[in-house]
């Protein structure tokens, strides 16, 4: 991971923190939250520079944020590759 520590990124992801990263010149915003009664975690990935925004690029609903993080890490969202497979080319950035 360029611009940050991969282990720290994963730790923050597991807690649903807001994360911004760039991969292949596209900026992504990843965030998680709990519903009001803390029974369901939601995690979503948005393409920030998408002028034709039609919803989330990816979303997950589970009973724990860690499960959403695991789903995100294993989902083949980038040309058949998952985040773990592309992380060496990912730039962790701020807005």
Q: Tell me: the pLDDT tens digits for 13-37?
A: 999 999 999 999 999 999 999 999 9
Mapped onto helix, strand or coil, the DSSP state of residue 88 is: helix
- Indicate whether 49 pLDDT > 80: no
Percent of the chain residues topping a pLDDT of 70: 94
Tokens for 18? 């807001």
Overall pTM surpassing 0.85 (yes/no): yes
Cα separation, 95 vs 36, in Å, equals: 27
Residue 2 to residues 5, 72, 74, 90, Cα–Cα distance (Å): 8, 19, 20, 6
Mean per-residue pLDDT, 61-75: 97
Q: Mean of the per-residue pLDDT values for the chain?
A: 93
Mapped onto helix, strand or coil, the DSSP state of residue 32 is: strand
Mean per-residue pLDDT, 9-15: 96
- Indicate whether 54 pLDDT > 90: no
Say how far residue 25 (Cα) sits from the centre of its chain: 16
């Amino acid at each position: 991971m360029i611009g940050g520590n991969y282990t720290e990124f994963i730790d923050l992801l597991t807690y649903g923190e807001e994360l911004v990263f760039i991969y292949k010149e596209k900026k992504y915003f990843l965030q998680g939250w709990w519903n009001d009664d803390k029974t369901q975690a939601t995690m979503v990935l948005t393409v920030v520079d998408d002028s034709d925004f039609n919803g989330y690029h990816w979303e997950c609903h589970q009973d724990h944020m860690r499960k959403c993080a695991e789903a995100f890490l294993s989902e083949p969202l980038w040309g058949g590759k998952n985040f773990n497979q592309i992380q060496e080319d990912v730039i962790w950035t701020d807005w």
